[in-house]
């Protein structure tokens, strides 16, 4: 059977990808952020999954605002890297895991989550930057297959945090019921506090972020109990991306151990963080 082996929560800021693509990770601005990733990257390189289920949001690149599914799953054999207006990132195409995807879609629909199925999908920075955070130099191919799981966080009304946490629980069960012997990592992406436009543009809330970084391990229920308005007030209009971390946490068992975390301000307009957890539940 498949198992969830670890969970990675990470910001997905496009300029973090651009810093890697343009070999600027040693610059004064970027070095502290990338130094913070170091121990997590070493650990992940020693615990390579067969598949990464990456919970992310599209930013009106593959899915325009005419039709916005609350939850969607990619089922393709490969996903092209999206051109977000300045050319595609120079990273390999993303190889899918269609059998696992089809299984997850069926199991989630049977669990009463009405999933939209994406048979074709260009993946934007929300997915490719976390992949680069995991694997700095993929060469010609990423080291694992990927199942994209999309959450609408950009158009009101976003799904509630409680719904995302429950989706994660159903996702974890669905992964564990897949008959192939696979190691699966689950990524929750986005955050932490940030707001890109409007009167509060530039908002950072370190107090909220640090509370969230702690509670995602020990008390995810308290985070699931917050309303979308709580997220937007405390973490900013884009900080609500944090609800995707709850999908990752829900997919993991109750027995997890923190491997590493890091918190850094600023990365572009965000408070950037990474938190890596090993799942001890099935040993
Ligand atoms: C930035 C952050 C994001 O989460 C995003 O999707 C786009 C841009 C930023 O801070 O620049
Ligand atoms: Fe984003």
Residue 162: count of CB within 10 angstroms of its CB: 16
Among this protein's residues, is 218 annotated catalytic? Answer: no
Q: Is residue 270 part of a domain?
A: yes
Q: Is residue 206 part of a domain?
A: no
**Backbone φ, ψ for residue 183 (5° rounding):** -90, 125
pLDDT at position 282 is: 64
Mean pLDDT of 108-128: 98
pTM: 0.98
Looking at every residue in the chain, the average pLDDT score rounds to: 97
Assess whether the C-beta atom of 238 lies below 6 angstroms from ligand 1. Answer: yes
Q: Is residue 129 part of a domain?
A: yes
Q: Is residue 174 part of a domain?
A: yes
Alpha helix segments (H runs only) across the chain: 14-21, 31-46, 98-110, 125-134, 161-176, 206-218, 220-224, 228-235, 243-251
Q: Is residue 202 part of a domain?
A: no
Split at pLDDT 50, 70, 90, the class of 9 is very high
pLDDT at position 174 is: 98
pLDDT at position 100 is: 98
Q: How many domains does the chain have?
A: 1
Domain of residue 47: give its range.
3-190+244-282
Which CATH number do you get for residue 274? 3.40.830.10
Is the predicted pLDDT of residue 210 greater than 60, yes or no? yes
Query: 23-69, pLDDT tens digit by residue?
Result: 999 999 999 999 999 999 999 999 999 999 999 999 999 999 999 99
- CA-nearest of 250, 210, 197, 277 to 55 is 250
Q: Is residue 204 part of a domain?
A: no
Query: 195-206, pLDDT tens digit by residue?
Result: 999 999 999 999
What is the residue with the minimal CA distance to atom 1 of ligand 1? Answer: 13
CA angle, residues 99, 101, 104, in degrees to nearest 5: 110
Among this protein's residues, is 125 annotated catalytic? Answer: yes
> For a substitution probing ligand 1, which of 194, 209, 264 has the most ligand atoms within 8 Å of its CB?
194
Q: Is residue 234 part of a domain?
A: no
Is the predicted pLDDT of residue 283 greater than 80, yes or no? no
Please name which ligand lies nearest the alpha carbon of 56: 2
Assess whether the C-beta atom of 103 lies below 6 angstroms from ligand 1. Answer: no
Is the predicted pLDDT of residue 245 greater than 90, yes or no? yes
pLDDT at position 120 is: 97
Mean pLDDT of 76-99: 97
Burial of 254 (0-12, 13-18, 19+ CB in 10 A): exposed
Q: Is residue 198 part of a domain?
A: no
Please name which ligand lies nearest the alpha carbon of 270: 1
pLDDT at position 249 is: 98
């Amino acid at each position: 059977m498949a198992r969830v082996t670890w969970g990675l929560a990470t910001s997905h800021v496009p300029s973090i990808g651009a810093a890697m693509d343009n070999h600027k990770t040693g610059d004064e601005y970027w070095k502290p952020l990338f130094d913070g990733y170091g121990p997590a990257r070493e650990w992940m390189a020693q615990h390579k999954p067969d598949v990464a289920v990456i919970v992310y949001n599209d930013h009106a690149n593959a899915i325009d605002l005419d039709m916005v599914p609350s939850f969607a799953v990619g089922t393709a054999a490969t996903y092209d890297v999206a051109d977000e207006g300045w050319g595609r990132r120079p990273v390999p195409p993303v190889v899918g895991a269609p059998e696992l995807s089809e299984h997850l879609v069926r199991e989630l629909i049977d669990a009463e989550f009405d999933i939209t199925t994406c048979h074709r999908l260009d993946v934007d920075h929300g997915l490719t930057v976390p992949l680069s955070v995991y694997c700095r130099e993929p060469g010609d191919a990423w080291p694992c297959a990927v199942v994209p799981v999309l959450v609408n966080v950009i158009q009101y009304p976003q799904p509630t945090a409680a719904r995302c946490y429950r989706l994660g629980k159903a996702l974890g069960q669905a992964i564990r019921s897949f008959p192939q012997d696979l190691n699966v990592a689950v990524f929750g992406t986005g955050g932490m506090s940030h707001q890109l436009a409007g009167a509060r543009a530039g908002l950072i809330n370190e107090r909220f972020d640090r509370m969230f970084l702690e509670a995602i391990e020990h008390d995810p229920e308290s985070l699931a109990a917050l309303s979308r308005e709580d997220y937007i007030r405390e973490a900013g209009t884009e900080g609500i991306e944090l609800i995707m971390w709850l999908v990752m946490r829900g997919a993991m068992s109750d027995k997890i151990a923190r491997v590493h975390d890091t918190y850094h301000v600023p990365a572009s307009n965000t408070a950037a963080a990474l938190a890596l957890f090993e799942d001890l539940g099935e040993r």
